[in-house]
Structure 1
Amino acid sequence: MANARDIQLDALRAVAVTLVLYAHFLAPGGSSFLGHLGVRLFFVLSGFLITRLLLDARDTDAFAAGPALRSFYARRVIRIFPPYFAVLALVWFTDLEQSRSSLAWHALYLSNFWYALRNDWNPWLLCHFWSLSIEEQFYLAWPLIVLLAPRRHIEAITIGVIAFSLAYRFYWPITADPALARDLLPPASMDALGCGALLAVRRARGADVPRWMRLGWPALAAVFLLVVWSDPGPADSAWEWPRWLLVQVLPLVPLAAIVAACSTGLGGKLGKLAELPPLLGLGRISYGVYLYHPILLAYAVKAQPWIPLNVSEQGPGRFLVAGATTLIAASLSWALFEKPLNSLKRYFPYVQRARTPGATRWISPAAAGSALDLRHTEARR
């Protein structure tokens, strides 16, 4: 069930979005493996939390698949759509960076397909929508599996999804084609989402993270850093494809192990650090930070003549100005827009009240406790 220590997962969201901001505002060359790592951490978190919510709903006495599915989709719409489509409306109204021609793809959560089919990152200010599209595609399909598939098969299905995603990666070295599709189509991210989901499935049956994962993830993280910092060599070198594969796969176990540890609550100094109010606050507004940051950067670049710091290039000036603007906008969005709308989720409970002839009663105490846990966990989603 949901644990009060889950607040540490907000700290992980803060870490993930900080890595993305660093990559897009400060890292030399405009890109960094840290940004990629931040997105992968978001995927593991999403796979874990969504799967756990659905399994918790399924375990209640009053569970019914139809109402649970309707509530899940309604709650996702309430949480995700308003700020997302507000951004699209702003981009359409201003035609920022001549983005109108692609807005239909973004509105349908097909941004990843737009960029993959064109093999190009234009319009650049909406290129981060690819990961939001991946998540929405996951939200559309995964609840059907978790809530409708036979319970005894869900873990095997999850492992199969991870295996399929890993196999998909090996297709690209065979074709020797480094197209954007290798990273943007849904199978390329199902391994991270699946690892989070597998963690939730194992937890639901009382199993913890395997011992080899708890002991081995630091070594895998160290190898990952060595690979990232290694010289990629010239294009088409013998090291290019193995390096790409290792950068994609090696972080999966460390990220899953970190999510597992924070979901049960880190102790000691690390636990206190993970519960610092500024970190938790950043985690709560991380969706807005991720959503708004390239849009606000585009406006900052246009306003460069009136800004004393250099925001047109990667560096401290861009990080300070665009980063501060993003945090302010995301904070206002959360307080005035997103949080009030989230209150509507109470009309869409995962588990409905149970009624008996001539009387109204709540579900059993065990089921009621599960439903309460669901509400507490979902309030942070």
Structure 2
Amino acid sequence: MAVARDNQLDALRAIAVTMVLYSHFLAPNGSSFWGHIGVRLFFVLSGFLITRLLLEARAAAEFEAGPALRSFYIRRALRIFPPYFAVLGFVWLTDLEQSSGSLVWHALYLSNFWYALRNEWTPWLLCHFWSLSIEEQFYIAWPLVVLLAPRRRVEAITIGVILLSLAYRFYWPITATPALARDLLPPASMDALALGALLACRRTRGAALPQWMRLGWPALAAIFLAIEWLVPAPADPMLEWARWALLQILPLVPLVAVVAACSAGLGGALGRVFELPPLLSLGRISYSVYLYHPILLSLAVKSQPWIPLNVSEQGPGRFMVASAATIAVASISWTVFEKPLNGLKRRFPYVARHRSQARAGDAGWLGRAADAYPSGSPDGRAALDLQRTDAQR
């Protein structure tokens, strides 16, 4: 069942990144609706997977906070940094879409602050880096909480983070100045990340999803869709704020419910769909797909004279060409570049093994690939070097 659960979470990554591709390549009028949901799903996945990983490491008898933290940061760097900085290097060399002027901000994982301070999506080529910056900021701070705070307090801290994130949204009616900052500053996304973390906290102590979530998520999803599709954006600042706040908050419980269901393992026909090989393969490379897709879009548009389909505008032609090119490049990147580097993570276990355990586990390690990116954001299930089953692929 552990393998089934991991597979189904890979499928969720595939669905999330497909939403982003649809939004950026095909959606009429450049609608960001499905892309927004895809990114929020990545955040919930990230919070869940990273917290589950850290709590399992902490539960081991051989656990030590210092080595576990060091291993976490090294393993995250091995997974995230190589393709990320390869993209920045390519943009620096080519100055693609005149994007080189902001590279220092992106290199420091401050993309969200760059766009928030400017209040415009310039340069557009790297605007998707805002979510990667949010996740990196989360990766820096959250392990300190999970591994160093008293274990009995972690869940309460998680709930506090959720409440603070929700309270942040009430700042905007005071200023009445809607701006990119209200979406891009870290508190705007901490509710999704922390809700995923809360799910992991409950799972590790054997608690199920609360009944009100299990029963109420379809109604919340229906209300969210009705507001998005049927209620136009009002001109009045207070009404606009209320609509924005609801659209940010309402989808969270449905997304948590979906992650909870897949992490427990869906059965029947739906479970088989979530384990289809193409879906799992796309989920495995979803980080690279998310990372590279605007670069491939820019190159496709520049190559329009040699492409028989229309890639210069949103539509089927752009979706087919840019998506195919992105998936092809991401697949090559994963196989040739990222996967071998991920193999180095086995040198940095979260929990030190006894020599007898190490000898017994070496053969198993050789058959495992490194963990893949879970989300619009990168946070694979890093392998726990414990006596229990290793989740690394």
The answer to whether the superposition gives a TM-score over 0.5 is yes
Alignment partner, residue 118 of structure 1: 118
- Tell me if structure 2 keeps the 8 A contact 1:3–1:373: no
Alignment partner, residue 159 of structure 1: 159
Amino acid paired to 1:131: S
Alignment partner, residue 295 of structure 1: 295
TM-score by length of 2: 0.91
Q: What CA distance in whole angstroms lies between the structure 2 residues aligned with 1:370 and 1:327?
A: 29
- Tell me if structure 2 keeps the 8 A contact 1:162–1:195: yes
Q: Secondary structure at the match of 2:350?
A: coil
CA distance 1:34–1:253, shift in 2 (3 Å): same
Alignment partner, residue 390 of structure 2: 376
Amino acid paired to 2:339: K
- Tell me if structure 2 keeps the 8 A contact 1:23–1:30: yes
Q: How does 1:240-319 map to 2 (within 5 A)?
A: 240-319=240-319
Alignment partner, residue 91 of structure 2: 91
How many residue pairs get aligned? The number is 371
CA distance 1:373–1:169, shift in 2 (3 Å): farther
Q: How far 1:5 sits from its partner (Å)?
A: 2.0
CA distance 1:371–1:183, shift in 2 (3 Å): same
Q: Deviations over 1:336-362 (max 9, x none)?
A: 1111111101000000024xxxxx544
Tell me whether 345-354 or 50-59 shows the greater mean CA deviation: 345-354
Tell me whether 230-239 or 162-171 shows the greater mean CA deviation: 230-239
Q: How far 1:30 sits from its partner (Å)?
A: 1.4
Q: What CA distance in whole angstroms lies between the structure 1 residues aligned with 2:214 and 2:199?
A: 13
Q: Deviations over 1:78-126 (max 9, x none)?
A: 0000000000000000000111110000000000000001111000010
Q: What CA distance in whole angstroms lies between the structure 1 residues aligned with 2:59 and 2:233?
A: 52
Q: What CA distance in whole angstroms lies between the structure 1 residues aligned with 2:338 and 2:225?
A: 37
Please tell me whether residue 343 in structure 1 is matched to residue 357 in structure 2. no
TM-score by length of 1: 0.94
Amino acid paired to 1:98: Q
Q: How far 1:159 sits from its partner (Å)?
A: 0.2
Q: How far 1:281 sits from its partner (Å)?
A: 0.5
Q: What CA distance in whole angstroms lies between the structure 2 residues aligned with 1:118 and 1:173?
A: 21
* % identical aligned pairs: 75
Q: RMSD of the alignment, in Å? A: 1.9
Q: Give structure 1 stretches of 5+ with no counterpart.
A: 355-359
Amino acid paired to 2:192: A
Q: Secondary structure at the match of 1:189?
A: helix
Q: Deviations over 1:177-231 (max 9, x none)?
A: 1110000000000000000000001111111101111111111111111011123
Q: Deviations over 1:9-37 (max 9, x none)?
A: 00000000000000000001212211000
Q: What CA distance in whole angstroms lies between the structure 1 residues aligned with 2:152 and 2:252?
A: 24
Alignment partner, residue 131 of structure 1: 131
Q: How far 1:236 sits from its partner (Å)?
A: 2.2
Alignment partner, residue 9 of structure 2: 9
Amino acid paired to 1:205: R
CA distance 1:233–1:16, shift in 2 (3 Å): closer
CA distance 1:160–1:106, shift in 2 (3 Å): same
Q: What CA distance in whole angstroms lies between the structure 2 residues aligned with 1:237 and 1:177?
A: 8
Q: Secondary structure at the match of 1:104?
A: helix
Alignment partner, residue 357 of structure 1: none
Q: Give structure 2 stretches of 5+ with no counterpart.
A: 361-382
CA distance 1:141–1:302, shift in 2 (3 Å): same
CA distance 1:293–1:250, shift in 2 (3 Å): same
Q: Secondary structure at the match of 1:19?
A: helix
Q: Secondary structure at the match of 2:385?
A: helix
CA distance 1:21–1:374, shift in 2 (3 Å): farther
Alignment partner, residue 170 of structure 1: 170
Q: What CA distance in whole angstroms lies between the structure 2 residues aligned with 1:168 and 1:347?
A: 41
Alignment partner, residue 380 of structure 2: none
Q: What CA distance in whole angstroms lies between the structure 1 residues aligned with 2:388 and 2:309?
A: 46
Alignment partner, residue 201 of structure 1: 201
